[in-house]
């Protein structure tokens, strides 16, 4: 199988001395491609470096996570914008992400909206996909996105509400799911309803999953195999069929060719 991890944070400090081990883990598990998402300027630059060190294995997404808006300076925002503008044409840069809105940080809501708007405008200008964080804001985001000319949208770790899933599918948006599909009835219900042509797998590492079979282990790309097996069981498909569909989706969405292990 050729597996893919459409959402992992390889530049996170928790992975700082573990990158070679994570790449080896991906190779052993037949995870052929990973999209490394960024949170701020520092992780965007680190992600770029990783994409250059591991070509055709690690792909870069640049952006400002809504969690980081609280400490974001105008200078840092400008530098992330310049990075996207100067590197968007490179094969290793495949998306703007992780960007979006988070209801937990209401005190900086207006600033979140401003930063998200800037990221979406860049996606419009350079025809890049966006990888969207939408905790507590999914319905709002699904309603607002059609006002932008962003052709490729990925709602990362979609959980609810179901009516927003229907609207997202109507708009041709993609969603990702990760390890919770193995144990979460709510996520399994989403997987049962999503169009398989709009679906991708993720780990969201270094997020740690406390439930069986993960039990607090360091999150690794190889977890994708269990995700694919769970999806296959839910959709009454073989793991090979699921992995081939997801690989095709990955190639179409990010406009890359998945090769090798």
Task: Supply the CATH number for residue 78's domain.
Answer: 3.20.20.140
Is the previous residue joined to 122 through a cis bond, with omega within 30 degrees of 0?
Answer: no
CA dist list (Å): 248 to 199, 209, 228, 237, 257 = 10, 27, 14, 16, 9
- Classify residue 14: in a domain, yes or no: yes
* Cα-trace Rg, the chain: 17
- Classify residue 259: in a domain, yes or no: no
- Classify residue 261: in a domain, yes or no: no
- Classify residue 198: in a domain, yes or no: yes
Q: How confident is the model at residue 106 (pLDDT cuts 50, 70, 90)?
A: confident
Summarize the confidence of residues 6-10 as an average pLDDT.
Answer: 98
Residue 22 in tokens? 């994570």
Please give the pLDDT value at position 91.
86
pLDDT tens column, 136-184: 999 999 999 999 999 999 999 999 899 899 999 999 999 999 999 999 9
> Cβ distance 221 to 8 under 8 Å?
yes
- Classify residue 236: in a domain, yes or no: yes
Summarize the confidence of residues 208-225 as an average pLDDT.
Answer: 96
Number of domains observed in the structure of the chain: 1
Summarize the confidence of residues 103-124 as an average pLDDT.
Answer: 95
Torsions phi, psi of 98, nearest 5? -100, 125
Q: How confident is the model at residue 260 (pLDDT cuts 50, 70, 90)?
A: low
pLDDT tens column, 176-190: 999 999 999 999 999
In the chain, % of residues over pLDDT 70: 99
- Classify residue 32: in a domain, yes or no: yes
- Classify residue 40: in a domain, yes or no: yes
HSE at residue 82, side-chain half, CA atoms within 13 A, is 8
Q: What is the mean pLDDT of the chain?
A: 95
- Classify residue 94: in a domain, yes or no: yes
Summarize the confidence of residues 9-22 as an average pLDDT.
Answer: 96
Residue span of the structural domain in which 206 resides: 3-254
CA distance 105 to 110: 10
Residue 160's nearest CA partner among 193, 136, 131 is 136
Please give the pLDDT value at position 90.
87
pLDDT tens column, 48-89: 999 999 999 999 999 999 999 999 999 999 999 999 999 999
Assess whether pLDDT exceeds 90 at residue 259.
no
What's the predicted TM-score (pTM) here?
0.95
Please give the pLDDT value at position 160.
86
């Amino acid at each position: 199988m050729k597996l893919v991890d459409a959402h992992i944070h390889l530049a996170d400090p928790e992975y700082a001395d573990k990158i070679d081990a994570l790449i080896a883990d991906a190779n052993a598990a037949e995870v052929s491609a990973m999209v490394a998402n960024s949170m701020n300027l520092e992780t965007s630059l680190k992600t770029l470096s990783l994409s250059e060190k591991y070509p055709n294995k690690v792909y870069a997404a640049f952006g400002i996570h809504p969690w980081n808006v609280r400490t974001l300076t105008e200078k840092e925002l400008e530098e992330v914008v310049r990075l996207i503008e100067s590197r968007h044409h490179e094969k290793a840069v495949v998306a703007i992400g992780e960007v979006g809105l988070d209801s937990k940080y209401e005190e900086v809501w207006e600033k979140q909206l401003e930063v998200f708007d800037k990221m979406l405008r860049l996606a419009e200008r350079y025809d890049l996909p966006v990888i969207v964080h939408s905790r507590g804001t999914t319905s709002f985001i699904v309603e607002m996105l059609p006002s932008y000319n962003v052709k490729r949208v990925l709602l990362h770790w979609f959980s609810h509400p179901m009516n927003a899933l229907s609207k997202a599918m109507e708009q041709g948006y993609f969603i990702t799911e990760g390890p919770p599909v193995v144990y979460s009835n709510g996520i399994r219900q989403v997987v049962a309803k999503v169009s398989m042509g709009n679906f991708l797998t993720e780990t969201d590492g270094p997020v740690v999953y406390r439930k069986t079979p993960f039990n607090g282990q360091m999150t690794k790309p190889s977890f994708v195999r269990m995700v694919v097996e769970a999806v296959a069981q839910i959709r009454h498909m073989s793991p090979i069929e699921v992995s081939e569909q997801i690989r095709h989706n990955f190639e179409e969405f990010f406009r890359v060719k998945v090769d090798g292990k």
